[in-house]
Structure formats: C-alpha cells, structure tokens
Amino acid sequence: MSRILLELTVDTAHKPRSFRRNVISSAGSTTLGSLAQLVLVMVLSRVMSGLDYAGFLTAVALVAVADMASDFGTRIWAMREFALKGASRNTFFVSLLTKLFYSAAVAAVVMTIGPHILIIPWQDILICVFIAFTQPATDPSLWYFRGRERLDLEALAVVLYRVGCAVILALLAYLGVTLTLLLAAWLAVNVLRITAVISSAPLRFVFKPGSEAGNSGIYFSLVRRVLPITFPIGVAFILVTLYQRLGVLSLNAMHLTHQVALYGTAFSLVGAAGFIAVSITNATFPALTRAIESGDFPAASDLLLKKFSLITLFFVPMACLGLVFSPLAIAFLYGSGYRDAGLVMVLLMPGLYISSLNFGAKYALNAISLNWYDVTATLISIVVFTAVFILPLHMQKAGQAAVGWGIGESTGLLCRYGFLRLNSRMTVRRFWAFMALFAGLFILSFLLQGMGVSLRNAVLARAHFVLHR
C-alpha cells in the first residue's frame, strides 16, 4: 500500500506527501464531522420536545436533499476549471452565478411543494432552503480548495464549522429556544463560515480583478455556456442518489416494513464506509483532469489504475471482514431482533467494494466531460437493480435488494469503463482482475449468507423443540 501511495503522491501533486495529506485530511474531516453530528442528534433527542425533535429531523432531511440539488453538478465543473486554471476569478464568479441559478429553481420547487407535505411551517422551510444553499458541499470557496488539491484546508474549515455548529445548536436547544431560532442559528453559522473562508489568504484573488476583470454581461454569457455542461452532471448526481435509496424505496413500495428496517439498518452501516472512496477520488480528480486536458491519456490511465488499486487495498479486506463479522456486529449494536440484518449486510459487502470502484469511474467520465454517458450508466444500473429485485428468488426481499444493489453497481462500472474505452484512449490494466475480485466476494457472500440462514434455522428449530416437547 505504501508503494502505491508514494506513486500516487508523485502523480497527483506538486508538493511531497500532498496526496496522502489530502486523503487523510478528507477522511478525518468526514469522520469528525459525522461524530459531531451524531452527538448533536443524541443531545437534541433528550432536550427537545418530541414535536420539535421530529421537526428538526425533517429539516435535516430537507437540507440534505436541497443541498445536493442546489448546484446541480456545478461543483464538478468548478473543481475541473480550478484544477486547470488555478486562481481564476472568472471561474469563481461563473460557478457562483450558475449555482445561484440552480438554487433559485430548487427554492421555487421546495417552497411550492414543501408546505403541503412537510410537518414544519413555511418559514422554517424557507430557512432550510437558505441553509442548504450555504452548506460546505455547495460553497465555491471550498470547491477552489478541492481543485487546487488543498483538501487539508477544506478539511480544517469543515471540521471547525461542524464542531462549532454542533456545540452552538446543542447549547441553544438546551436553553429551550424554538425550532425556528435553532434553524436561524444554523444559517448564521453557515454565513459566518463563508465569510471567514472567503476572507482567507488563498481566496484573495476573488477581490483582485487583475487580467480577468469582466463585467456582468461577460459572466452571464459564460454562465449560459456552462449550464448545458453542468446539467447532465446534476442529473447523474440525482440518479445516483436515487439509486442508493432504491432498496429502501422498493421495499417501502411493497409495504414490507420489517424488511425495510433490516435493509436500512445494514445499508446505513455499509454506506458509512463510502467516505474513503470519496476522499481518494477527490484527491486524484485535479491531477486526472490535468492529464486528460493535456492529452496525456497514458498518465490518466495509470492514475486511474492506481486509484482502483488503492480502493482495492482498502475495501477488499474491509469486505472480507464484513463477510465474517457482520452478523456479530449487527447483533452487538442492535440486539438479537435485528439478527437477519447481519445476513443482509453480508450480501451488501461485495457491493461496497464495486460501488467504490464505480464512483471512481464516474468521476473519470466527468473529468473527460462524458457527462451524458454517466447518466446513461446510472439509468442502466437502476434498470438492472429493478430486474433483480422483482425476480422470484427464494430469499427474503431485503437480501434480494442487497444482491440487486451489488449487481447494479457492477453493471454501472462495466458501462462506464466501456464508455471510457470507446470515447477516449483511457484504459485500466488489470481491470478484469478487479471484476474477478468482486465476483469472488459475491460468491463468498452467498455461501456465508446461506450458512448463516441454515444456522439461524437450526437454532430456531432447536428452540421450538425445547419449548414444545
């Protein structure tokens, strides 16, 4: 692993150790931020009334959805442009204006539909919309850090923000403020973070026109050219988000409440590890973009191979451990009533590995501007998942959804790799070795899950015999 990390460091950065620094910073920031949010939710559940707590959770869900849609893929375009052009004032303001266009569209939809279907009042919904538009993931200032391979600076800003926001919200909730004031405080912390970051030394180019000075007409002309580029990226993001929730939604549609609980519990634990793949992909994206833009496809292919290799080094051992210990982990965390969720988690582990590779391939398509091909691959994954899910298999539906997720992700990866081969000179040596690893994990998961089902049935049969003899 250390050799691959060293090679990636040389290929992806201008300074020594920057790749490792970026991956560790991003992963550490995500971990600390998640812990801060978990503690906040635990505190709020104890100090808020049931109605206000439910309202806060509703607000969090609304912010998550609006956050993802508010820039509609502009972040990928901006990261790519910053990676190629550096401290470009035009890139900053064009990405900001493009984001504002999509944000206004999202706000119109949310404010039209939200008051009729959500349990929180319209003024709280409006505050949530502004919170979503000012979240770290949608901040052009932080996109600049990503594009310039300074994920350590982004991580510092995000960790300070998330910990500070959690402390302030927990304190205000303890003091008994209303839900509206709590959400307003969240928005105020977001604005404070944006002000601090935009005022920092690395972002001073935003206030210095220099050779890129332009008027509003030039900016709006550039925005009109950027919108057709970002739109398919946003569509793909929405479809990917839908795909990751397709298991829960499909089981809900069949009114299988217990199966929803089993699958949702298992998937939440498996999905939590995805931040490692996100960190690796974000750290390599700028260098991949520069290699593609310069026409150095052998270097881009080599970088993609090394990224796949690093993901494999992290996720194959993780999947193997999950195959063996998932039932024990579920029983320890959730009790014996969720024992079957451990068997579902076993079936999800191969999908964790292949989805991480698929995420890396997705960003490769975005780096080369094959954005509609990315949309096509995701649509094919959804069709494959649906086909597997409706098959009359002799297994519980939660397990069938887990199998469908893994097969759909592998199909998506095959499509994305095929699109890369057909539309560029990029290739991945040993690609089929990665697919063979997935196939091995997939077969092993079925064998171990079958053994777990047999053991469970034997225990239940023995218990029934003892109780009724």
255 and 140 housed in the same domain: no
In single-letter form, the type of residue at position 292 comes to I
In single-letter form, the type of residue at position 118 comes to L
Distance CA 238, CA 357 (A): 19
In this prediction, residues 259-279 reach a mean pLDDT of 82
Among candidate residues 228, 256, 274, the one where a domain is terminated: 228
In this prediction, residues 105-119 reach a mean pLDDT of 87
DSSP state of 245: T
In this prediction, residues 194-213 reach a mean pLDDT of 78
326 and 436 housed in the same domain: yes
Residue 454 has pLDDT above 60, yes or no: no
Distance CA 33, CA 22 (A): 16
Among left, alpha and beta (phi > 0; psi -120 to 50; other), residue 49 is beta
Average pLDDT taken over every residue of the chain: 84
Of residues 365 and 245, more confidently modeled: 365
253 and 215 housed in the same domain: no
Within a domain: residue 236?
no
Of residues 216 and 219, more confidently modeled: 219
Q: Which residues of 312-324 are buried (b: 16+ CB within 10 A; e: fewer)?
A: bebbbebbeebbe
| Containing structural domain, residue 204 | 1-228
User: Cβ distance 219 to 90 under 8 Å?
Assistant: yes
284 and 197 housed in the same domain: no
In this prediction, residues 413-433 reach a mean pLDDT of 90
Within a domain: residue 235?
no
Torsion sign over Cα 340, 343, 347, 348? positive
137 and 167 housed in the same domain: yes
Segment 335-359, tens digit of pLDDT: 777 778 888 999 999 999 999 999 9
Among candidate residues 164, 194, 228, the one where a domain is terminated: 228
Within a domain: residue 238?
no
In this prediction, residues 65-77 reach a mean pLDDT of 85
In single-letter form, the type of residue at position 49 comes to S
Q: Model confidence at 197, in pLDDT bands (50, 70, 90)?
A: very high
Residue 423 has pLDDT above 90, yes or no: no
pLDDT (0 to 100) of residue 57: 81
216 and 276 housed in the same domain: no
Most confident of 9-23, 216-230, 371-385: 371-385
Q: Model confidence at 219, in pLDDT bands (50, 70, 90)?
A: confident
In this prediction, residues 92-107 reach a mean pLDDT of 90
In this prediction, residues 101-111 reach a mean pLDDT of 91
Within a domain: residue 121?
yes
In this prediction, residues 132-137 reach a mean pLDDT of 92
pLDDT (0 to 100) of residue 2: 42
In this prediction, residues 387-406 reach a mean pLDDT of 90
